[in-house]
Structure 1
């Protein structure tokens, strides 16, 4: 991005110098200064627009919905001219095997369908495509870039809060199971002397009725 912007500014600077030489040869100094001010307002003021036009867009993988960066991924065009983009060969193979992304656990579609990721939030409204042409405004473009960073931070914070709230129930369940397991195996954790001193650490003894036949079977055999 920085390299492209410097190239655009350099080309504009060279064009400006060429026009300066022509204007000095043909017209007077007053008209020349007026021309320079108009040139700065019309060309240099819209340089941000030229840089934005050179920027390449980031696509989404059709199968797992991850980001596909320029120069990466696989693109498949069907007979009906529909384009499918994939981030890696793994997604492309699953697509060719006609697997449903909603039934594969590591895809975004599965996670959203089963409530693992955030699906309804006001920050998603900013990503909708709007087919309304707008006139370029430099201040509006700068404010939009600043707002994008703030919105991304708000969305990441809300997503982390959503995951924490989702994991609360499973955390309580794991704590109950761990407490029960600890009570059953407390003799492995506590020393025998501590168990003898504090009777509450031991499990209560339960009397069980045993028949005469069972006692005879448990007796050691005599030679």
Structure 2
């Protein structure tokens, strides 16, 4: 069973699925769905369309250089069947997928490292700009004098 890659978005095309376009110069373009085919006909660049893998790789959203991608490379040379080799390959595939998943998570963690600090700064700036919406600050002494009922931790009124 041969799994092809979509020319536009680089996703996997399973047998019996997708659209194939053959140009006059005999160049074959395979598309996973009509969305990719229509974007190709509109002459859109996959590197500029945000949902494609080419865009994600180009803008640092996905891992590009990783040794686990070597195993997914297309090989045109047929291999002689050997049961032991097949068993070892199936075991290795499981290990490689675990390694790839761990590396992807680490890549994502590194990409998102500074987001928490930026989010806190943005929230502080927004609060500073719209402090009038929050209301006046009330001190604990004023609460006792005016008998204001404080809110509990779970933000329900105390009775």
- Structure 1 residues 155, 191: CA separation in 2 closer, same or farther (over 3 Å shift)? same
Q: What is the deviation of 1:185? A: 4.2
Which protein shows a greater Rg? 1
Deviates more, 1:88-97 or 1:127-136: 127-136
Q: 1:91 matched to which residue of 2?
A: 36
Q: 2:59 matched to which residue of 1?
A: 114
Extract unaligned runs of 5+ from structure 2: 143-159
- Structure 1 residues 196, 104: CA separation in 2 closer, same or farther (over 3 Å shift)? farther
* Cα RMSD for the two superposed structures: 2.3
Structure-2-length-normalised TM-score: 0.77
Superposed CA deviations along residues 100-120 of structure 1, whole A, max 9, x for unmatched, are 111111111011011111001
Structure-1-length-normalised TM-score: 0.57
CA distance in 2, matches of 1:178, 1:196: 29
Matched residue count? 142
- Structure 1 residues 167, 152: CA separation in 2 closer, same or farther (over 3 Å shift)? same
CA distance in 1, matches of 2:125, 2:11: 41
Extract unaligned runs of 5+ from structure 1: 1-55, 198-223
SS for the counterpart of 2:29 is: strand
Q: What is the deviation of 1:189? A: 4.0
